Structure 1
Amino acid sequence: MQHRIRIITWLLAACVLGINGFQAYWLCSTYRLTTAQFDRAAHDALVATVQQQLIAGVEDLKTQGFDLIVSGTNGPRVGPRRLVYASSVTVIPKDVSHQEAVSIGRHLARITIDDWRSGTHLSLPTLTHVYRRQLGQRGLDSVAVLDTFSIRPAGPPPGQSASSAGPLARFPRPTPPVLLNPKHALYVRAHLPAPTWYLWQRLGGLLGGSVLLLVLTSGCFGLVWHTMGAQRKLAEAKNDFINNMTHELKTPLTTVSAAVETLERFGLQADPAKVQTYFHIARTELRRLSDLVDKVLTIATKEQQALVLHPEPVHPAELVQAAVRRHQLHAGKPVHFELDLAPTDVVQADRLHLAGVINNLIDNAIKYSKERVTITVRSRRTAGGWQLTVQDDGVGIASGYQAAVFDRFFRVPTGNLHPVKGFGLGLYYVRQVVERHGGRIAVRSELGRGSAFTVWLPLP
């Protein structure tokens, strides 16, 4: 059984670790993919910005006025050298030949290319404004800074200036550079802040679902682990109960069998006094056997039915003194009681069950002790309640078992030895009664030095 539980536990642990590992790998892969998508979108936005501005510069040439000096048909050919922005326009005659028109178009294209290569018509603030608009269209954070640089050790061309390194410290994520000016080998790149909000928007739901799945699987594993532990403890308690029950039942049966065998061997002709003695022994053991069975049945019945209380004003000191007198007569060993009671204390409790609680605590203190025992019983009022402590100098309880001593059928494991008779029902009954009164019970014990059980009941 223990081997099967161990195998199931390891399999469950492997399943939980596998699920959590797969979730972690999937989240990391999704994070890397989303980050790459962010970088690609930021770079595409920069490329689109540069292309848009270059095209816009070419379009401006169609609408802006300029003087174009064309060579005559008979004179030497003079090609246009530059664009001169002016308010006047020289009109070309309509009867110009097709060859001359083509020549003019080629010169205009060359001038346009030279103007683009010089890069003087692109300004960094304009690029930044357009780039931020492109980022917004792609759902990215529009906060960005553009920076220009040259791959040659030449200064920037007129009208262009690189951003200072200071502001870029706030934007640690640069994009790949985009060619801005081929003539001067000038490039532009964007610097963006960490994409925290972008990643949160796209991964927040996945992360929340993964965390929820992790909590559910870990919780289920913990619940199964706890259940298996409880089942293991229950199995141990059951085996211990069966061993104790067998021992307790075997003793009276053996005694009765010996008495009956003696009567059969000697017959009714034996001494009548001895016959009566044997009959008395048989009746006593049978009564004890009946009490054992009744006790088990009573506990089983009380487990199915709620414990019914009949509260009344009770002086606990009287119940303690009565229990002390009874146990001094039947202890079977030297017992010394030290009482520190307040005779005027009154609690609202069920007299019968409260007496049962006190008797069980004192009985345990006597049974789980050495050849002689000193038992201290103290009571006092506390904030909103009344407290009773039963302390002994007996064998004590190991710390690993203290939380389970109030469980039904639980007894501290002793193997096949049964130095103390019982079924592990006394402290279970004590806890049931105390909790039904709205109180609580606690144990403080040290192995080899004794135990102290403290009962607290609320006052009306």
Structure 2
Amino acid sequence: MKKRLQFVFLIAAVTACGIILCQLYWVYFNYKTRKENFIQTANYALRQSIDQYQLAQNKLPTSLKHKNPTLTFFMRTLPDNDPMALDTPDSKRRFSAEFATVAVDRQHLSEVKALVSRLLSQQKHLPLNLDTLTRIFNRQLRRNYLTQEFRLYAHKNQKSISPGQVAATVNFYKDPVLIRAEMVDGHHYLMVSNFLPALVSSLMVLLSAGSLYYMSRIINRQMMLDTMKTDFINNITHELRTPVTILKSSNEALASFGAADDPESLNRYLRMNASVLDTLDTDIERILEFSRSEERKQNPVYENVMLLDTVRQVARRFEMTDNLKLQIAIDSSLEIKTDRHMLGVILVNLLDNAIKYSPGRAVIEITAEDFPQSWQLVVRDQGQGIPRPELPYIFEKFYRVSTGDLHEVKGYGIGLAYVRQLVTALKGSIRVYSELGSGTTFKLKFDKAWRI
């Protein structure tokens, strides 16, 4: 079972790592794709802006503005063949020119206008105004749903564009010019634009990790409950076998060995059987009472209680216990409002555990402290203590500190679970402090709202 669980955890860990790596790759791929799309859109906007700038700087032929746009081209010159023309050195030679008019398809009108404006700019050699180009570029960016701020820089005698750069060449000057656009705080924009996908990815990673962690906790808890159930069955079997064996032995002695004819032996066996039956009845009643307390909510019956008197009344139940030193340090005037029976059951269980887990002589100290808003009851022993890793589980139902296959201490693992139920019903809290070999301290704290 343990190897199978380790294999399941290994598969879960590999799955979690795979999910995290996939999510990280998805975030990186999304960031890279957005960056490429952004650069591509900005480059397109810059090229469009340069074309619009050229159109704004030059006056295009009016024929391109007609309903049916046309463009007239000069083809060639033809000599004048007029015989009446004077062929003297002082005369001016006449000639005629040949032109061709071409209809422009409206589908390609914008490209034709851009070409004509580029030729006019190249012919005029007008200087490049970066401020005007920047305004046109910003308007073009907004048309493409980009609101980031850019700065434009002009570089002469440069044609090469680096990968990932927003730039375009202007070829209508004598010397080539490269227009480079640089975004103000570009990395911040890209990070902000990818914040939501990264947030969603992070949430998915956290949910996946949390689910796997919760699953591991559930599996561990189920295994612990299974172990506790097995231990409980073993413990109750062991505890029931002892009284049954005693009763069978005494019954056999009475039936087969003539002990029933001896009044002294008969009385001794009957007293022994009665004691065994009382103990068995007490154990059964404790289990049934704990089971009933889980099925229904316990409603305390509050009354005025002198705490010292209640503690002494419980202590008298352990007067016949050998090797017990019980120290009570409680102010005789401390009066509280609580359920006397519940408080007594709490003390009985705590004292019973302290005695059972104190090898040799049991030294137990009971004290109480009065605070402005609450009061506290402390039960401290000098027993064998509880290992630190076991402390979070001692209030669990049927849980007992592991001692292997030995059953040196009798019990079913329900005492402290029942104590916590009763403390909760009294609107209080219980904490435990212990180290192996240094004893155990239980601190029960109750709010004064339930005091007089």
1:359 corresponds in structure 2 to 348
* 2:399 counterpart of 1:410: yes
Using a 3 Å threshold, how does the CA distance of structure 1 residues 267 and 96 change in structure 2: closer, same or farther?
farther
* 2:89 counterpart of 1:97: no
Equivalent position amino acid for 2:384 in 1: V
Q: 1:132 aligns with which of 138, 141, 144?
A: 138
Whole-Å separation in 1 of the counterparts to 2:25 and 2:183? 27
2:49 corresponds in structure 1 to 49
Q: Secondary structure at the match of 1:22?
A: helix
Q: 2:302 aligns with which of 311, 320, 337?
A: 311
Q: 2:370 aligns with which of 369, 381, 387?
A: 381
Q: 2:200 aligns with which of 206, 209, 225?
A: 209
* 2:436 counterpart of 1:447: yes
* 2:156 counterpart of 1:150: yes
Cα contact 2:369–2:376 (8 A) shared by 1: yes
Q: Secondary structure at the match of 1:140?
A: coil
Whole-Å separation in 2 of the counterparts to 1:178 and 1:45? 13
Report the structure, 1 or 2, having the larger strand content.
2
The correspondence of residues 57-456 of structure 1 with structure 2, limited to 5 A, is: 57-60=57-60, 97-99=96-98, 113=119, 115-116=121-122, 119-151=125-157, 174-195=165-186, 199=190, 203-267=194-258, 270-327=261-318, 329-333=319-323, 335-456=324-445
Whole-Å separation in 2 of the counterparts to 1:269 and 1:197? 99
Whole-Å separation in 2 of the counterparts to 1:347 and 1:213? 52
1:17 corresponds in structure 2 to 17
Equivalent position amino acid for 1:134 in 2: Q
Using a 3 Å threshold, how does the CA distance of structure 1 residues 145 and 280 change in structure 2: closer, same or farther?
same
Shift of 1:287: 3.2
2:67 corresponds in structure 1 to none
Shift of 1:216: 2.7
Structure 1, unaligned runs of 5 or more: 64-69, 77-94, 103-108, 153-172
Whole-Å separation in 2 of the counterparts to 1:353 and 1:110? 101
Shift of 1:62: 6.3
Equivalent position amino acid for 2:31 in 1: Y
* 2:448 counterpart of 1:459: yes
* 2:4 counterpart of 1:4: yes
Q: Per-residue CA shift, 1:370-418, capped at 9, x if unaligned?
A: 2113222111211311111111111111111112111211111111111
Using a 3 Å threshold, how does the CA distance of structure 1 residues 186 and 62 change in structure 2: closer, same or farther?
farther
Whole-Å separation in 2 of the counterparts to 1:305 and 1:393? 36
Cα contact 2:150–2:181 (8 A) shared by 1: yes
Whole-Å separation in 2 of the counterparts to 1:267 and 1:117? 140
Q: Secondary structure at the match of 2:153?
A: strand
Using a 3 Å threshold, how does the CA distance of structure 1 residues 298 and 111 change in structure 2: closer, same or farther?
closer
Equivalent position amino acid for 1:35 in 2: K
Using a 3 Å threshold, how does the CA distance of structure 1 residues 57 and 365 change in structure 2: closer, same or farther?
same
Q: Secondary structure at the match of 2:59?
A: helix
Equivalent position amino acid for 2:357 in 1: Y
Cα contact 2:254–2:260 (8 A) shared by 1: no
Whole-Å separation in 2 of the counterparts to 1:376 and 1:301? 31
Cα contact 1:314–1:347 (8 A) shared by 2: yes
* 2:31 counterpart of 1:31: yes
Whole-Å separation in 1 of the counterparts to 2:220 and 2:259? 57
Q: Per-residue CA shift, 1:163-189, capped at 9, x if unaligned?
A: xxxxxxxxxx85234235541122111
Shift of 1:215: 3.2
Whole-Å separation in 1 of the counterparts to 2:51 and 2:222? 73
Cα contact 1:443–1:454 (8 A) shared by 2: yes
Whole-Å separation in 2 of the counterparts to 1:391 and 1:379? 11
Q: Secondary structure at the match of 1:419?
A: coil
Cα contact 2:167–2:180 (8 A) shared by 1: yes
Q: Secondary structure at the match of 1:390?
A: strand
TM-score (normalizing by structure 1): 0.80
Shift of 1:32: 0.5
Cα contact 2:374–2:445 (8 A) shared by 1: yes
Whole-Å separation in 1 of the counterparts to 2:333 and 2:211? 52
Shift of 1:197: 6.9
Using a 3 Å threshold, how does the CA distance of structure 1 residues 113 and 342 change in structure 2: closer, same or farther?
same
Whole-Å separation in 2 of the counterparts to 1:142 and 1:271? 110
Shift of 1:248: 0.7
Equivalent position amino acid for 1:262 in 2: A
Q: Per-residue CA shift, 1:27-66, capped at 9, x if unaligned?
A: 2111111110011111111111112222444435769xxx
TM-score (normalizing by structure 2): 0.81
Whole-Å separation in 2 of the counterparts to 1:121 and 1:75? 47
Equivalent position amino acid for 1:379 in 2: A
Q: Per-residue CA shift, 1:141-195, capped at 9, x if unaligned?
A: 341111011237xxxxxxxxxxxxxxxxxxxx85234235541122111111344
Alpha-carbon RMSD across the aligned residues, in angstroms, is 3.1
- % of aligned pairs identical? 29
Structure 2, unaligned runs of 5 or more: 64-76, 88-93, 101-114, 159-163
Cα contact 2:232–2:412 (8 A) shared by 1: yes
Using a 3 Å threshold, how does the CA distance of structure 1 residues 124 and 269 change in structure 2: closer, same or farther?
closer
Using a 3 Å threshold, how does the CA distance of structure 1 residues 415 and 365 change in structure 2: closer, same or farther?
same
Cα contact 2:399–2:414 (8 A) shared by 1: yes
Whole-Å separation in 1 of the counterparts to 2:262 and 2:189? 104
